[in-house]
Amino acid sequence: MHLVSRRSLLAGAAALGGAAALAGCGSRAASALERMQDDGVARIGIAGERPYGYSATDGTVTGEAPAVARAVLAGLGVGGLEAIQVPFDRLLDALLAEQFDIVTAGTTITPERCARVAFSQPDFVAPLAFLVAEGNPLGIRTFDGVRRAGVPLGVLSGSAEHEYALAAGVSPEAIRTYDGQSTLFRAVVVGDVPAAVLTRLSLLDALARNPGAPVEVTPGVAALVNADGERVFPMGAFAFRPEDTALRTAFDVGLHDLQSSGRWLEIVRPFGFTAENLPPPGVTTGSLCAGQPGL
């Protein structure tokens, strides 16, 4: 499974354009699942963010989401993965533009995103955390703490954390966006912002790769507490085009089987996931799309 850039993808599409015109529209009439099964390869979208979906040093694509997708798709008769990397905030646009067929980037289910794409059943639950200076001098552990301190907060561009911060009352003027995990991490290290928010899984991974950095990761917390006092935790899933119902339905069956059999935990453990990241029973994509609490 190798990484494909947008440039090489577009070049390949151009080279195949004449052949596709001669072949007619028969292949396009097939569903996404049928095309995958015919080709033996699924096109997936990643953002290069650890531990969810990223390129290893040898050029292969790895991470929690590609690893889970590989196992599910193998059960559907699709043995290969072709990964295309785009910036995180462009993933859904690229999916809808048919640059790939599945977003495998640990994308959080939110009502806003549900209005654009179709999500699988929840793949994992991921409490948030804050990256702060060593010793946490401002005592920041929640969005309320950021708001009370009146300090800037770093978030990834297009992230659910950005939405959560606004919903929690953090001033839009106080939010600073960054285009990737490394730049977000560095912003706290060099003091551009006193705190940044991301899933605790992501921040712990970044901290492990930067030993000695003068920062720390706070304990995991809910994204927000709704009007009924219920905690809302982010839950990640795989995203599909709304019309690809056969693919999404078949994928859900395979994902459910992985989670219920215990294989899911075996697959995701190398990426820092534990049994605590398994979605609790009863939580559905429909409820999350409706803005109901995850836990």
The residue assigned the tokens 């290969």 is 80
Instruction: Look at residue 209 and tell me whether its pLDDT is greater than 90.
Output: yes
The pLDDT tens digits for 87-110 are: 999 999 999 999 999 999 999 999
The pLDDT tens digits for 115-167 are: 999 999 999 999 999 999 999 999 999 999 999 999 999 999 999 999 999 98
- From CA 36, how far away is CA 29, in angstroms rounded? 13
pLDDT confidence tier of residue 223, bands split at 50, 70 and 90: confident
The CATH fold of domain 2-125+235-289: D-Maltodextrin-Binding Protein; domain 2 (3.40.190)
Q: Which CATH class is domain 128-232?
A: alpha beta
Per-domain residue ranges of the chain: 2-125+235-289, 128-232
Average pLDDT for residues 7-35, to the nearest whole number?
Answer: 52
In terms of average pLDDT, the best of 54-58, 232-236, 274-278 is: 274-278
Measuring CA to CA, which residue among 102, 90, 168 is closest to residue 130? 168
Q: Are 42 and 81 in contact (CB under 8 A)?
A: yes
Question: Is there a common fold for 2-125+235-289 and 128-232?
Answer: yes
Q: Are 71 and 263 in contact (CB under 8 A)?
A: yes
The residue assigned the tokens 């989401």 is 65
- Pull the structure tokens for residue 22: 């001669």
Q: How many CA atoms lie within 13 A of 138 on its CB side?
A: 24
Average pLDDT for residues 249-276, to the nearest whole number?
Answer: 97
Higher pLDDT pick, 242 / 21: 242
Q: Are 86 and 6 in contact (CB under 8 A)?
A: yes
Instruction: Look at residue 15 and tell me whether its pLDDT is greater than 90.
Output: no
End-to-end CA distance of the chain: 35
- From CA 122, how far away is CA 282, in angstroms rounded? 11
Instruction: Look at residue 3 and tell me whether its pLDDT is greater than 70.
Output: no
Average pLDDT for residues 240-254, to the nearest whole number?
Answer: 98
What pLDDT shows up at residue 118? 98
The pLDDT tens digits for 27-71 are: 455 899 999 999 999 999 999 999 999 998 888 899 999 999 999
**48-51 long-range Cβ contacts below 8 angstroms, 24+ apart:** 48/85, 48/180, 49/88, 49/105, 49/106, 49/156, 49/180, 49/181, 49/202, 50/181, 50/202, 50/205, 50/206, 50/209, 51/201, 51/202, 51/205, 51/271, 51/272, 51/273
283 Rama sector, left if φ>0, alpha if ψ -120 to 50, beta otherwise? beta
pLDDT over 90 percentage in the chain: 78
- From CA 279, how far away is CA 122, in angstroms rounded? 6
- From CA 234, how far away is CA 221, in angstroms rounded? 10
The pLDDT tens digits for 171-195 are: 999 999 999 899 999 999 999 999 9
